[in-house]
């Protein structure tokens, strides 16, 4: 197995990834049914992200290999999507995060009663926090 560099893309040839996948399939076939875990899926996706490039023919073969594996339907769909993204030259994270939103001012989101609650020094911090969260 080639060393893992941690960089996205361009580290391993497709044939290496294919042999690793076939080895993992054989390992999981020897295990009890249902042994394919999220960690196995995560590993396959991470290694796929390190594949140098895919030709359309390799993409077809990769999807067929993944479809024949011991994965559930959701995992197969996720991995097929990752093959498609790799074919297009994109890096795919197993879990996508939404970008953070930045709000410069909350004042336009408060009602007059919210502003009254927030401005009243008699109200506790918990009351003011509750006002901003509801």
Would you state the pLDDT for residue 1? 39
The widest CA-to-CA distance across the chain, in whole angstroms, is 71
Q: Is the pLDDT of residue 8 over 50?
A: no
Cα 35 to Cα 41, 72, 109, distances in angstroms? 11, 11, 49
What's the distance, CA 97 to chain centroid?
Answer: 8
Separation between Cα atoms, residue 79 and residue 62, nearest integer Å: 9
Whether the model clears a pTM of 0.75, i.e. scores above it, the answer is: no
Would you state the pLDDT for residue 64? 92
Would you state the pLDDT for residue 41? 86
Comparing 118 with 105, the larger pLDDT belongs to: 118
Structure tokens at 102: 């930045």
| Mean pLDDT for the stretch of residues 91-107 | 66
């Amino acid at each position: 197995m080639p060393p893992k560099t941690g960089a996205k893309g361009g580290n391993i040839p497709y044939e290496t990834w294919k042999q690793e996948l076939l080895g993992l399939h054989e390992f999981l076939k020897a295990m009890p049914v249902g042994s394919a875990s999220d960690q196995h899926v995560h590993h396959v996706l991470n290694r796929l992200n390190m594949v140098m490039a895919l030709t359309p023919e390799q993409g077809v073969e990769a999807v067929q290999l993944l479809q024949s594996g011991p994965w559930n339907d959701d995992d197969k769909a996720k991995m097929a999507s990752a093959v498609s993204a790799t074919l297009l030259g994109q890096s795919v994270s197993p879990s996508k995060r939404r970008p953070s939103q930045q709000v410069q001012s909350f004042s336009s989101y408060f009602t007059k009663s919210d502003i009254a609650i927030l401005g009243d020094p008699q109200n506790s911090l918990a009351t003011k926090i509750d006002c901003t969260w509801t």
